[in-house]
Structure 1
Amino acid sequence: MNNFQRRGLLSAAGVLGVATAARAATFGNPDSPPQGAVNTKGSPQSLTDPGPKNPVLMDQFPSFQDPPATDVDGMPLFWASFNDAHKRIQNGGWAREVTQLDFAISESISGVNMRLSSGGIREMHWHQQAEWAIMLTGKCRITTLDELGRPSVEDVEAGDLWYFSPGLPHSLQGLGPDGAEFLIAFDNGMASEFNTLLLTDWVAHTPPEVLAKNFGVSADVFRNIPLKNLWIFQGKEPPALAADRQSSKVVAGAQKVVFRLASKTPDRQTRSGTVRIADSRNFPISQQVAAALVTVAPGGMRELHWHPNADEWTYFIKGCARATVFNTGPKAQTADFRPGDIGYIKRGLGHYVENTGTTELQFLEVFKADHFAEVSLSDWLTHVPPELVAQHLNIDPSTIVQFPQDRPDVVPE
């Protein structure tokens, strides 16, 4: 079927009243050849899967097994998960990561999920990339030093962010009674938590006489230094925050490295959910990473939208979700997400995220950008002449004024 024939059939369908309503109920794929289970009527064998399978795994992905009839063509896999990532475990905690080596589409962001026991220490280190993080559970003490020699020592808990600019040294330590678990995002898809610049490595690979000259002490002081890095190790519970700040010589003036995201007033709020944004406009140090913390009530949806300035790296904290990504071609693909899963949506590609569960859905949208930016489909369609939209979508102009306006972000309003 050529384009003119296809358009003719679609135009004819538009004037068939009841037939149009019936078609809209299933919204079968109009592309040729027809795709989706809706096209297999009369041939039930087309849907069978008699070969080897893992039913437990398959059940986690209903949209892969039985995609919506509107899905079309293929796309790079935009789903990954920490749930099937290998844990590196040491006395004091563990970490697992998803980088571009594991998740090919994820070019701009890599992620780390880390756990520290009470007193557990992620050893003093630094990265060549920016480190953005959010606390998931427990409490953690972070330390850092800026390029002007100003120290920061802070305690963070669930929903708090920290940001370490590229090249600035830092440490992390779990606090009692339950330690800490957190998510780290690096602004480079190839960055790895297992390949960082570590204090113990550098000292062990520097001549003792150089260390002595540098620190103004005897070389014998360094006789018992660790010859292998510590990475994560079990330490002693630190003293009160005020005592650590005093001993670290913390003074006023250093740029704030912590942002209390979960406790801030929502930037967008409807009866279906909230959106809280953190970027360089309200968290000035975060020059290379922007983020939004989104909650969606059961039956709600993060509206159809896209991001014009950066790819989106999405981390699912709680609840169940379904998302469809739309690209040129046309191409459209749907995937399911659960806690610990990751999504990745290229800049400018349309998408939505729907709560498919019975409890609140919460997820993070993370971007390699200095500011959060998005375009809402309903916002666009309600800010151009209604007749123009009506001619595109073959709907009555009076219907368009009923669309959500002014970017609700989470619908229904």
Structure 2
Amino acid sequence: MTPIPGLFNSFLLKLGILALTAPAQLYALPTNPRFSDWAGSAGDNESNGGAPLRGAVVSSYKLAPGQDADADLGIPFRWDDTKNPQPIRGTWGATDPGPQTYEYSKLNPDIVAPPSTDHNSMPNAKWPMELSHNRLVPNGAGWSRQENTENLPIATAMAGVDMLLAPGAYRELHWHKASEWAYVLNGSCRVQAMDENGQTYVDDVQAGDVWFFPPGVPHSLQALDEGSEFLLVFDQGDFDDSGTGLISEMFLRTPKEVLSKNLNAPLSDFDQLPKDELYIFNGTPAPANLTAQNVTGPGGVARGNHSYTYHLSKQSAYEVPGGSIKIIDPQSFPLASTFSVALVTIHPGAMREIHWHSTDEWGFFVSGQGRVTAYSPPTTGGTFDFQAGDVSYVPATYSHYIENTGDEDIVFLEVLQAPEFTDISVGQWLKLVPEQIIKDTLHLPQSLLDNLSPNKQYIVQGNTNLTALAGGSGTA
């Protein structure tokens, strides 16, 4: 057989019809299966009468109440009774025949079917703590999970940890590079600390209370009889709770000769040191009488403005139509000099008024469900849905609100890195600008301007019928 020229040989190799044997042999294309068995002269026209090879069929679906309203209205809706939610809002969007996990859609209707007022690409502002990898510890002592810039990149200024200690369990003696602000979610625990001057502190906190530790201050926590779950907020977005200083590790990483010399003790005293870090571990239950663990050093006991805890659970809330608010900042809790926090309760149908802060806001939904639209200057907006256990994050100067879209109260933490809790209220701003400027700019009627308040509202009551405006008229 006459050899095939090299170029043509390479071409045939790409077609897979030339065997690399010697002498070279040219093989014919296989005859089975025959293309004509499944394709007609016009190609894949399904002319053989078999099942369709292309196309997708969407099964019947039902729109949620309010979902068919004008997309510009942005009416909140829920897919509680919808089997297969579809990305449709008013005349916008279309059905989705592709693979879906409908439970995700039901939790995030404003992401699947956003209002048409959303614009451009807003960075993700939501992270469910339940999606964080949970660190379980032995012997039922507890667990912890965290949120930081690894799972919520927009949250550059703060990070959070959700931690549980079983009854009698410790979070071992440790310290951080970052400041730690904490809110007790349930149960109770004992807090112990000592500062650079040998000033000591011990206190019991319960659900609704707060503690704070500056960077470097060593402290420990022990759950009391019913155990305790608490939320920790750190002033570094990339904070990692597994990177804290631990007394067990410090002893393991220090030569025993040095320990002996420093603590004036025989080497045998260190024979029973833990073999690994403790982190969270079971211990002897704390004595019921707090005074039994009071230890007074040369610096005395921390009191007053130097206290590491604040009993926010005992503070009266400021009641407003639609909910209530508690504010804790350095004016009431001086030691936490860079943390200013609002604990906000929003009744069904109500909303935290449209506002923004001069610093980033780290938020946590303690209970309830709602939605937030954030406006990122100059032209970007995005709407997100939140449930209990979710973290939210809104950068400085982004306007936003929190609207209750559920049937129970929202309890929400707004955490700022600021010496005072402040915000800019959009309603107050409109009232305190000369009316003609507002009319020339937004073309709002006099009746609306007359109804505005010169005071911040914080929370405004709304219609509990969230679809009341579906017809395109009325007041929410």
Q: Secondary structure at the match of 1:213?
A: helix
| Rounded Cα–Cα distance in structure 2 between residues aligned with 1:138 and 1:103 | 28
Deviation digits for residues 310-334 of structure 1 (CA, Å, limit 9, x no counterpart): 1001100001111100112411111
Structure 1 match to 2:290: 242
Structure 1 match to 2:115: 68
Q: 1:60 to 1:253 in 2, by over 3 A?
A: closer
8 A contact 2:202–2:294 mirrored in 1: no
| Rounded Cα–Cα distance in structure 2 between residues aligned with 1:50 and 1:252 | 66
8 A contact 1:298–1:359 mirrored in 2: yes
- 1:222 matched to 2:267? The reply is no
Q: Secondary structure at the match of 1:280?
A: coil
Deviation digits for residues 61-118 of structure 1 (CA, Å, limit 9, x no counterpart): 0111111121112110001010111111113110000111111101011100000000
Q: What TM-score, normalized to structure 1? A: 0.87
| Rounded Cα–Cα distance in structure 2 between residues aligned with 1:286 and 1:230 | 28
Gaps of 5+ in 1: 1-23, 30-35, 41-45
8 A contact 1:142–1:153 mirrored in 2: yes
Deviation digits for residues 9-62 of structure 1 (CA, Å, limit 9, x no counterpart): xxxxxxxxxxxxxxx975379xxxxxx84454xxxxx51111111111111101
Q: Secondary structure at the match of 1:401?
A: helix
Structure 2 match to 1:411: 460
Q: Secondary structure at the match of 1:102?
A: coil
Structure 2 match to 1:87: 134
Structure 2 match to 1:206: 254
After superposition, residues 367-378 of structure 1 pair within 5 angstroms as: 367-378=416-427
Structure 1 match to 2:216: 167
Structure 1 match to 2:72: 27
| Rounded Cα–Cα distance in structure 2 between residues aligned with 1:84 and 1:248 | 43
Q: 1:28 to 1:298 in 2, by over 3 A?
A: closer
| Rounded Cα–Cα distance in structure 2 between residues aligned with 1:253 and 1:319 | 37
Deviation digits for residues 206-238 of structure 1 (CA, Å, limit 9, x no counterpart): 111211111122122111111211011011111
| Rounded Cα–Cα distance in structure 2 between residues aligned with 1:355 and 1:289 | 25
Q: Secondary structure at the match of 2:384?
A: strand
Identity of aligned residues (%): 35
Higher mean C-alpha displacement, 81-90 vs 111-120: 81-90
Within the candidate set 428, 436, 445, 1:379 is matched to 428
| Rounded Cα–Cα distance in structure 2 between residues aligned with 1:289 and 1:52 | 44
| Rounded Cα–Cα distance in structure 2 between residues aligned with 1:55 and 1:399 | 41
- 1:298 matched to 2:348? The reply is yes
Structure 2 match to 1:339: 388
Q: Which amino acid aligns with 2:414?
A: E
Higher mean C-alpha displacement, 347-356 vs 369-378: 369-378
Deviation digits for residues 283-325 of structure 1 (CA, Å, limit 9, x no counterpart): 00001222110000111100000001x1001100001111100
Within the candidate set 353, 365, 382, 1:316 is matched to 365
| Rounded Cα–Cα distance in structure 2 between residues aligned with 1:236 and 1:400 | 63
| Rounded Cα–Cα distance in structure 2 between residues aligned with 1:357 and 1:152 | 41
Structure 1 match to 2:124: 77
After superposition, residues 62-211 of structure 1 pair within 5 angstroms as: 62-90=109-137, 91=139, 92-176=141-225, 178-211=226-259
Root-mean-square deviation (CA, aligned residues, Å) is 2.0
Within the candidate set 244, 268, 280, 1:232 is matched to 280
| Rounded Cα–Cα distance in structure 2 between residues aligned with 1:191 and 1:348 | 24
Tell me how far 1:269 sits from its aligned partner.
2.4
Structure 2 match to 1:262: 313
| Rounded Cα–Cα distance in structure 1 between residues aligned with 2:300 and 2:188 | 23
- 1:390 matched to 2:439? The reply is yes
Q: 1:136 to 1:395 in 2, by over 3 A?
A: same
8 A contact 2:199–2:296 mirrored in 1: no
Gaps of 5+ in 2: 1-68, 75-87, 463-476
8 A contact 1:387–1:397 mirrored in 2: no
Structure 1 match to 2:96: 49
Q: Which amino acid aligns with 1:173?
A: Q
| Rounded Cα–Cα distance in structure 2 between residues aligned with 1:376 and 1:263 | 28
Structure 1 match to 2:334: 284
Deviation digits for residues 187-207 of structure 1 (CA, Å, limit 9, x no counterpart): 001111111100000011111
- 1:362 matched to 2:407? The reply is no
Q: 1:144 to 1:397 in 2, by over 3 A?
A: same
Q: 1:125 to 1:252 in 2, by over 3 A?
A: closer
* Count of residues paired in the alignment: 377
8 A contact 1:269–1:408 mirrored in 2: no
Tell me how far 1:252 sits from its aligned partner.
4.1
Q: Secondary structure at the match of 2:412?
A: strand
8 A contact 2:200–2:295 mirrored in 1: no
